[in-house]
Amino acid sequence: MRPNLFSWATKELSQDAFICWLAEWANPSNKSIDEYMFKAGTEFIKRLLKTHKICSTGINRVEILRQYYNIDAVFKIDTDDGNYVLIIEDKIHAQDYNPLEDYVKTITDDAKFNGYQPKGVFLKTGDQATYKNVVSKGYSLFLRKDFLLFFQEMQTYSGCNQIFNDYFANLDGYNSHINSFEILPVKDWHWNSWKGFYEFLQTEVDIVDWKEVNPPGGNSFLGAWWHFREWKNFSVYLQIEQGDLCFKIGEVYEDDCDQSLIRKEWYSIIVKEAAKQDFHEITKPYRFGQGVYMTVAKVDKKEWLGPDENIIDKDAIVKILKKYENFLDSCILHKDIQAHEFNENHPIVT
């Protein structure tokens, strides 16, 4: 493959520079320099405005401010239909840790922007499980899929710019890595394959969150958890640990109860219900840990995801996960009978 500038310029500051460069092309004075890039810059600005349902017929002027009061980028835009200032929070892989609402207040209170409507845009080309916090702060979203659609549609215009094409090629390549779970055997999955798989699952099951987990004394993994239910005063739920499907319980604090006893009791309920429903693939973990969050039972990866040599059947996997959701519900429904059967004097062998 030909050398690509953005395979080397991988930091968020490089992406900041690219989006500022692209937005600057929207100034009408640049049309005579490169009409193709003028169209690209104008379309980019219009799409950012559309994330706030602002449909402008013409862009008259764009002023670019970078790292303005620690804001990644600020686009001061004059249009035929009103004046706006876009507050751009630009991310690749980092989460939305910054004080987004403070950025809006800073711009609102700045006399430089009198007469301009402030609008926050969270632009992200990487991945994260949820954007609820971002949206709750009044920011719109411009994500990788929006960027890729923009680039693909710009290919229908006559013209070419190597920087523009390099960025598109690099982003499209990353997107292919994310979607690789659809075409690779399970044994060849990598970190980004699991990201793509979790993003797919979010459209099919009610995944609460997914992210990197760093267990004490253990290897980090990309985990996803969902289907939280209440048992006694605890949450019981399902978790995928970049492999095994686990039945979890938490938060179990040792100051409030005997963690080992609670774990054994919930395990007793699960194994008895599993035997009743002939779910023999639900087994105890390799070892029982003790902590605030505990794995109580598990299903081996090959039992729910398929053999390592296979390419996954997405529809079949969704059905399997729904089955385990229903199974967890049945454990809750039958907890009174089964908990009564649990005998503390005959603890489960760990």
Give one DSSP letter per residue of 78-123, joined into a string. Answer: EETTEEEEEEEEEESS--S-S-HHHHHHHHHH-GGGTT-EEEEEEE
Least confident of 8-22, 69-83, 100-114, 284-298: 284-298
191: confidence class by pLDDT, cuts 50, 70, 90: very high
Span 75-99, average pLDDT: 92
Amino acid (1-letter code) at residue 164: F
> What band does 140 get if pLDDT is binned at 50, 70 and 90?
very high
Mean pLDDT over 90-119 rounds to 92
Task: Report the amino acid identity of residue 59.
Answer: I
Mean pLDDT, range 86-97, rounded to an integer: 90
**Could you say which of 130, 152, 177 is where a domain stops?**
177
More confident residue, 175 or 289: 175
Q: How far does CA 311 lie from the centroid of its chain?
A: 23
Q: What is the band of 342 on the pLDDT scale with cuts at 50, 70, 90?
A: very low
> Which two tokens mark 285?
């973990």
Q: Which amino acid is at 89?
A: E
172 plus 104 within the same structural domain: yes
Assess whether 44 and 152 both reside in one domain.
Answer: yes
- pLDDT value at residue 334: 65
pTM over cut 0.85: yes
The average pLDDT across 258-275 equals: 92
What does the pLDDT look like over 216-230, one tens digit per residue? 777 899 999 999 999
Q: Are residues 160 and 57 part of one domain? A: yes
User: Is residue 97 pLDDT above 80, yes or no?
Assistant: no
Question: How far apart, in whole angstroms, are the C-alpha atoms of residue 279 and residue 299?
Answer: 10
Residue that finishes a domain, picked among 177, 195, 229:
177
Q: How confident is the model at residue 319 (pLDDT cuts 50, 70, 90)?
A: very high
173 and 192 part of one domain: no
The DSSP secondary structure of 295-340, one letter per residue, reads EEEEE-HHHHT--TTSPP-HHHHHHHHHHHHHHHHHHHHTHHHHHH
Tokens 């519900």 locate to 329
Which range is least confidently modeled, 48-52, 120-124, 254-258? 254-258
Give 88's contacts (C-beta < 8 A, 6+ positions apart).
19, 48, 71, 72, 73, 74, 75, 121, 123
pLDDT computed for residue 341 by the predictor: 45
Evaluate if residue 290 carries a pLDDT over 50.
yes
Three-state DSSP class for residue 198: helix
Give domain status of residue 294, yes or no: yes
Mean pLDDT of 291-310: 94
Structural domain including 283 reads 186-341
Distance CA 42, CA 31 (A): 10
Q: Are residue 215 and residue 172 in the same domain, yes or no?
A: no
pLDDT of residue 144: 97
pLDDT of residue 96: 74
Q: Quickly count: other Cβ atoms within 10 Å of residue 90's Cβ.
A: 23
Higher pLDDT, 340 or 96: 96
CA atoms within 13 A on the CB side of 23: 27
What pLDDT score was predicted for residue 349? 30
How are strands ordered across the β-sheet holding 282-283? 207-213, 221-231, 234-241, 245-250, 294-299, 282-283
pLDDT digits (tens, 9 = 90+) for 17-70: 999 999 999 999 999 999 999 999 999 999 999 999 999 889 999 999 999 999
- Sign of the alpha-carbon torsion through 207, 208, 211, 215: negative
Number of domains the chain is built from: 2
Q: What is the average pLDDT score of the chain?
A: 91
DSSP reduced 3-state for 247: strand
Q: Report the distance separating Cα 323 and Cα 252, nearest Å.
A: 26
Residues 57 and 88 in one domain: yes
CA-nearest of 296, 307, 313 to 238 is 296
Whole-angstrom CA distances from 126 to 44, 129, 177, 223, 251 are 19, 11, 11, 17, 30
* CA–CA separation, 31 and 40 (whole Å): 11
pLDDT value for 344 = 38
The reply to whether 350 falls in a domain is no
Same domain, 32 and 56: yes
121: Cβ–Cβ under 8 A, 6 or more apart, which residues?
48, 51, 52, 86, 87, 88, 89, 139, 140, 141, 142
Quick one: what percent of the chain has pLDDT higher than 90?
82
Please report the pLDDT score of residue 345 as a whole number: 37
Last residue of a domain, one of 127, 147, 177: 177
* 332 and 193 housed in the same domain: yes
Pairing of strands 282-283, 294-299: antiparallel
Between the alpha carbon of residue 300 and those of residues 131, 161, 246, the distances in Å are: 31, 49, 9
Is 36 part of any domain?
yes
